[in-house]
Structure 1
Amino acid sequence: MENTVFGLAFKISEEKIYIPDYSGIVQGILTKMIDEGKVSGRVLIHKGLVTVFEQLSAQGKAIGMTGLEEIRRLRLLHEKGLIALELIGEKPRTGLKEEEVISEINYSIREHARSLGAILVTGDPIQYRIAQAYGLQVLYVAPKEKTRLEFEKFFDQETMSVHLKEGVEPLAKKGRPGEWAYSVLSSKPLSKDDIERMANEIIEESRRRSDAFIEIDRVGSTIIQLGEYRIVITRPPLSDGWEITAVKPVRKLKLEEYNLPEELVRRLGERAEGILIAGAPGMGKTTFAQALAEYYMRQGKVVKTIESPRDMILPPNITQYSKNYADLGELHDILLLSRPDYTVFDEMRYDEDFKLFADLRLAGIGMIGVVHATSPIDAVQRFIGRVELGMIPSIIDTVIFIRNGVVDKVYDVKMTVKLPTGLKEAELSRPVIEVRDFLTGELEYEIYTFGEQTVVVPVKKLRGKPSLVDSIIENVKKILPDAEVSFEDNVIVVAISRSMLKNYNRRVKRLRKLEEKYNIPVKIKIV
């Protein structure tokens, strides 16, 4: 029997009609229930949803591709005679933001459900409450518990990460930080359809589960936190083919399991409030930060985290904020008003991250920052140029360097006024940041300004070598042997006679190169 007139849907007596909203399509609710034999009859798809998914797909966003794939599946079920699929409604207005378009379409879908007496299909709890307020029939599928997805078959207890790419055999990184090896999981290369199918399954599941978040969905890439898995999906044109990288923590440790020296445990419990956890990628920085966060929580402290993505596995007592769902100004206000004892800032990368870390620390909040660094001193240098040099010891007091999953080095950072190591003139005394080995007390680095330049001096390497000023003066004398060279008020002063001006004019380029190399002004004085 015909059930559309001039493109308008209407209801036949005792016929069931289902209208999915945005979440109902993205989460694949209808196809699963049709396959299970729980739903049959007419299914109405709003044209606006097709337009939205088309636009999102054109932007390279995975959510758009997932939506179109779900509509394609419904079309196949229609061709098999299991449902009667129809398109209704009008395309959305142009010029609206994505969330405004979706809100407008969901409103239109509710109106169609009301006028037709249809069943609204949704996985959105807000849409569910609105539909109940309207008195609509609703098929609501709440977020469900974990189910095993296809990509998880590649994981075992020793697997740190899985690397899946079209046209390539599936690979896994097995072992533990610092001691791992790649293993080929199958001799059969994965096809594009294999990767797309797993990617869509991951995205659909992330829309259903309460412990899953789509952290970032950009053109060509999607980053998802699905339970304990951190998943990165890339696709053309960003990458040369579809690829899924899934990372899972091998072990979850308590701070006590690191067997830290008693002095360091005491320091963390009593004095350390500006902590940097540094190390190369995959060395176990986040695992240690996770253990430290739980340690402070067990000490009765209020702990919160800023993550991108939220991949720490923490108890519900610790609130985890996503940097991708709020700007840093909003996070700044939230943390200042809620005043946690400690905030863990995972994966600090951008200037704004370091500035937020500094602002919160100076406001009195204990901060634990996680940064990529190939050596311990590199972690401190990441702050140089981003904050005033003299503020660094007020922001950072402890640097913990992780190598191969264990604490390899601990630095104590302090400010003092002294004559820097290697300089001889007493008038060159200045504020110096001392970076010492926490356990031995040995001075390893000094950081200070010299002229207009900030220098990081490895004290161990300097001992027994001429000072920086002596080296510059020696180089100037090689250019102008008969000149008198001195260092006054952070300026190299070269005193020459008028008879030497001709020689000076010929050698001025060499002096300017020296000036640029050390970033210290060279002043010529005629005597």
Structure 2
Amino acid sequence: MYRLEPIPAYVPDTSVVIEGLVSRLVKEGRIRGKILIHRAVISELENQANQGKATGFSGLEELKRLRELAEEGLIDIEIVGQRPSPSDIRYAHLGAIDALIRDYAYENGATLITADRVQALVAEATGVSVIYIPPRREEKLKIESMFDETTMSIHLKEGVPPRAKKGTPGEWLLVDLDSKPLNREEVESIAKEIIEVAKRRPDGFIEIDRRGSTIIQLGKYRIVITRPPLSEGWEITVVRPVKKLRLEDYKLPSKLMRRLEERAEGILIAGAPGMGKTTFAQALAEYYASKGKIVKTIESPRDMVLPPTITQYSKTYADVGELHDILLLSRPDYTVFDELRTDEDFKLYIDLRLAGIGMIGVVHATSPIDAIQRFIRRVDIGMLPSIIDTVIFIHRGRVEKVYGLRMTVKLPTGLREADLARPVVEVRDVLTDELEYEIYTFGEQTVVVPVKQVATLGYEEKLKRIIERLIPGAEVEIRDNMVILNVPRIAAKTLMKKMKRLKKLEDKYGITIRVNMVG
């Protein structure tokens, strides 16, 4: 008599379904027999897809592929188990769904397939037969072939040819990688490949997965995927740092280097998008770490490429209170906060700085003074120099301007009454020590005054008074560097006598005086 061997049965959990690993094992011939799909897996994928999460759609596509393989006769598929209860779904993140799947495999003598290390360890500990599929690093993505050494980012959108931004920050060109527009299926396929690999690789993180958008950090690539209903079509943006720079590569003036080493503890790195702020922040973080400082970062997503000595925290996976507690208790010398955006971000920066932690904040701004103004409505101006002492403005990948802040009590520039003296925050150019802005309260308003313009106005008033004393009765009008002098005809003799004095005023102040005889 012949004895029939039992058909092997496999129970995949959600992790391997989302990552598309079961169909790969079947195609490679590593498993044959019966695939038991637990209803808990289907419910969890349906729940994620209803929330618009890419992982849900990816998992449902994998179930579709398995059904096609069953139709080819490679495997049998059976839907098994009970639907999870609402409480099971609610506590899925605590392992409730995993436990349902694991228990079913144990009770029916099936082999569990998982890509979750914890799930595999628990299965082994409880006597469940398990196939654990560890992450693979060697996988090459389709998007990687679209990059060369000059590519900053690639932009893929349905109905549009694939494009790449090539060059350096502030000096780049947008070029087509192909003349043929991408269709929706091609963009979706690339997106699903990215998501599956990000779930498997240890250097991959799905930072944010919302209805309509997914943000992924995969090695050195920062990837943003948008889809309907958020965008009108599928779109993928992949950004990669073109060059990793050290602080020495910026060739900073020695005066600024001394400030960074000795004084700067509340640093703002400002600039327009794409100008190289994060690259500079990364170089500064590595510089402080090389000096024996404890450095940590707060990022969303984690896209800085830093040595293992620097711990990188994701704002996506922790609330502000948790990050606040962690950083206060661990007491780093410097914390790099990449991209201050919300009120909560600014509040965390301010609280940590006032607690004595050195802070390096990255903020979008079109000018260095704009970066300071982002803080003015959030803090009393008397605290500004304690929170921000150095503002570094980056333009086209270079340090274009450096400001320092300090508090003093004085009469603001342009005011004359001595009793108007008040606390003033001076904003000075660090390299020249030239005063450029003053910040103070006037009535109930906080004002930011460009000192050069105020000084020019004072100079105009002074010049006007000098000319009026020289030629009584004359009307003086000043337009830029032109002084228009309207002199009555009866004062013509006085004017002739004062022409040499007027000429000296032109030379002294670099102006042109035009005389009109009137009356």
TM-score tier by shorter-chain length is 0.7 to 0.9
Separation of aligned partners in 1, 2:442 and 2:102: 69
Whichever residue aligns with residue 78 of structure 1, its letter is A
**Correspondence list, 1:198-209, <5 A:** 198-209=190-201
Separation of aligned partners in 1, 2:138 and 2:361: 31
- Per the TM alignment, residue 98 of structure 1 is displaced from its structure 2 partner at its CA by 4.7
Bigger mean CA offset, 106-115 vs 328-337:
106-115
Counterpart residue number, 1:373: 365
Counterpart residue number, 1:408: 400
Counterpart residue number, 2:121: 129
Counterpart residue number, 2:391: 399
Counterpart residue number, 1:46: 38
CA contact (8 A) 2:88 2:97 kept: no
Please list the CA deviations of residues 272-322 of structure 1 after superposition, one character each: whole Å capped at 9, or x if unmatched: 000000000000000000000000010000100000000000011100000
1:30 pairs, out of 22, 28, 33, with 22
Whichever residue aligns with residue 50 of structure 2, its letter is A
Separation of aligned partners in 2, 1:111 and 1:254: 53
**Correspondence list, 1:79-98, <5 A:** 79-94=71-86, 98=90
Q: TM-score under structure 2 normalisation?
A: 0.86
- Per the TM alignment, residue 26 of structure 1 is displaced from its structure 2 partner at its CA by 1.2
Whichever residue aligns with residue 334 of structure 1, its letter is I
- Per the TM alignment, residue 94 of structure 1 is displaced from its structure 2 partner at its CA by 2.2
**Correspondence list, 1:239-318, <5 A:** 239-318=231-310
Counterpart residue number, 1:58: 50
Separation of aligned partners in 1, 2:356 and 2:94: 42
Please list the CA deviations of residues 7-49 of structure 1 after superposition, one character each: whole Å capped at 9, or x if unmatched: xxxxx85321111111121122211111111111111111121
Whichever residue aligns with residue 220 of structure 1, its letter is G
Counterpart residue number, 1:179: 171
- Per the TM alignment, residue 389 of structure 1 is displaced from its structure 2 partner at its CA by 1.5
CA contact (8 A) 2:158 2:234 kept: yes
Q: Secondary structure at the match of 2:231?
A: coil
**Which of these two proteins has the greater Rg computed from alpha carbons?**
2
Q: Does the alignment pair 1:15 with 2:12?
A: no
Separation of aligned partners in 2, 1:128 and 1:48: 18
Whichever residue aligns with residue 464 of structure 1, its letter is T
Q: Secondary structure at the match of 1:431?
A: strand
Q: Secondary structure at the match of 1:382?
A: helix
Whichever residue aligns with residue 79 of structure 1, its letter is E
Separation of aligned partners in 2, 1:388 and 1:327: 25
- 4+ residue runs over 6 A deviation: none
Q: TM-score under structure 1 normalisation?
A: 0.85
Whichever residue aligns with residue 33 of structure 1, its letter is L
2:182 pairs, out of 156, 167, 190, with 190
Cα 1:110/1:412, change in 2 over 3 Å: same
Q: Secondary structure at the match of 1:188?
A: coil
- Per the TM alignment, residue 466 of structure 1 is displaced from its structure 2 partner at its CA by 5.7
Separation of aligned partners in 2, 1:164 and 1:415: 50
Whichever residue aligns with residue 340 of structure 1, its letter is P
Separation of aligned partners in 1, 2:91 and 2:218: 23
Cα 1:299/1:102, change in 2 over 3 Å: closer
Counterpart residue number, 2:516: none
Separation of aligned partners in 2, 1:337 and 1:146: 38
Counterpart residue number, 1:166: 158
- Per the TM alignment, residue 458 of structure 1 is displaced from its structure 2 partner at its CA by 0.7
Counterpart residue number, 1:476: none
Whichever residue aligns with residue 392 of structure 1, its letter is L
- Per the TM alignment, residue 364 of structure 1 is displaced from its structure 2 partner at its CA by 0.8
Counterpart residue number, 2:334: 342
Q: Does the alignment pair 1:443 with 2:435?
A: yes
CA contact (8 A) 1:304 1:342 kept: yes
Counterpart residue number, 1:149: 141
Separation of aligned partners in 1, 2:106 and 2:44: 23
CA contact (8 A) 1:44 1:88 kept: yes
Separation of aligned partners in 2, 1:252 and 1:459: 38
CA contact (8 A) 1:162 1:172 kept: yes
Q: Does the alignment pair 1:324 with 2:286?
A: no
Q: Secondary structure at the match of 2:370?
A: helix
Please list the CA deviations of residues 174-229 of structure 1 after superposition, one character each: whole Å capped at 9, or x if unmatched: 00001101001101110100011111111111110111111111110000001000
Counterpart residue number, 1:470: none
Whichever residue aligns with residue 381 of structure 1, its letter is Q
CA contact (8 A) 1:92 1:101 kept: no
Please list the CA deviations of residues 112-156 of structure 1 after superposition, one character each: whole Å capped at 9, or x if unmatched: 111122111111111011001111111101122142111222111
Q: Secondary structure at the match of 1:39?
A: coil
CA contact (8 A) 1:48 1:105 kept: yes
Separation of aligned partners in 2, 1:22 and 1:386: 45
CA contact (8 A) 2:40 2:101 kept: no
- Per the TM alignment, residue 96 of structure 1 is displaced from its structure 2 partner at its CA by 5.7
Counterpart residue number, 1:490: none
Separation of aligned partners in 2, 1:186 and 1:102: 46
- Per the TM alignment, residue 105 of structure 1 is displaced from its structure 2 partner at its CA by 2.1
Using the aligned pairs only, state the percent identity. 63
Separation of aligned partners in 2, 1:215 and 1:266: 37
**Correspondence list, 1:203-222, <5 A:** 203-222=195-214
Could you list the runs of 5+ residues in structure 2 that have no partner in the other structure?
460-519
Instruction: Say what the alpha-carbon RMSD is for the aligned residues.
Output: 1.3
